[in-house]
């Protein structure tokens, strides 16, 4: 039995998300005088994925104003680069946000990131859709295995763990 007034704590949840995929690798955009390459991937939303060093920002909570500005600018530039559509439905898609990646702080994590939504909101946790989009890119690069989960660290050190449930084809 639980003590009176004690709060329950959820330690683990599991979900199966929509099929995730790389829409286009290495899209060239120019923002704030920088030429960047961004991978565009879908994990429930369409994201521009950028290395933080290439973008000139740090994946650190004290850098949120810089991340917000750069993330919104990159999302707009990737949207302007071309029209995006979901390959299975043909439905037009806007870039939902920018995911900045960095090396993890923890030895038990594979990657650290922060997501800046197109409206400027900054995600504290790694997020399910962002994790799925990142995993699609990493899998396309041959960097994920079926034997080990992907450990994804967020900007405030929260962590998501992901596994590929199965591989499928989306569209052509």
pLDDT in tens, 96-146: 999 999 999 999 999 999 999 999 999 988 889 999 999 999 999 999 988
- What's the DSSP call for residue 114? E
Percent of the chain with pLDDT over 90: 73
What gap in Å lies between CA 37 and CA 101, rounded to an integer?
A: 13
- The stretch 79-104 carries a mean pLDDT of 94
* Per-residue tokens: 35: 């030429």
pLDDT the model gives residue 77: 95
6 pLDDT above the threshold of 90: no
* Per-residue tokens: 53: 């060093």
Spatial contact of 134 and 101, defined as CB atoms under 8 Å apart: yes
Spatial contact of 67 and 100, defined as CB atoms under 8 Å apart: yes
Average pLDDT of the residues of the chain = 91
């Amino acid at each position: 039995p639980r003590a009176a007034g004690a709060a329950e704590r959820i330690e683990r949840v599991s979900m199966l998300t929509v099929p995730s995929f790389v829409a286009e690798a290495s899209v060239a955009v120019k923002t704030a005088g920088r030429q960047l390459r961004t991978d565009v991937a879908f994990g429930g939303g369409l994201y521009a994925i950028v290395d933080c060093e290439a973008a000139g920002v740090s994946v650190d909570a004290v850098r949120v104003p810089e991340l917000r500005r750069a993330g919104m600018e990159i999302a707009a530039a990737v949207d302007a680069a071309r029209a995006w559509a979901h390959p299975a439905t043909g439905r037009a898609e806007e870039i939902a946000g920018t995911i900045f990646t960095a090396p993890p702080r923890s030895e038990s994590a594979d990657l650290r990131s922060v997501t800046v939504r197109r409206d400027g909101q900054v995600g504290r946790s790694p997020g399910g859709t962002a994790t799925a989009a990142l995993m699609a890119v990493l899998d396309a690069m041959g960097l994920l295995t079926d034997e080990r989960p992907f450990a994804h660290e967020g900007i405030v050190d929260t962590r998501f763990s992901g596994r590929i449930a199965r591989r499928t084809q989306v569209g052509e």
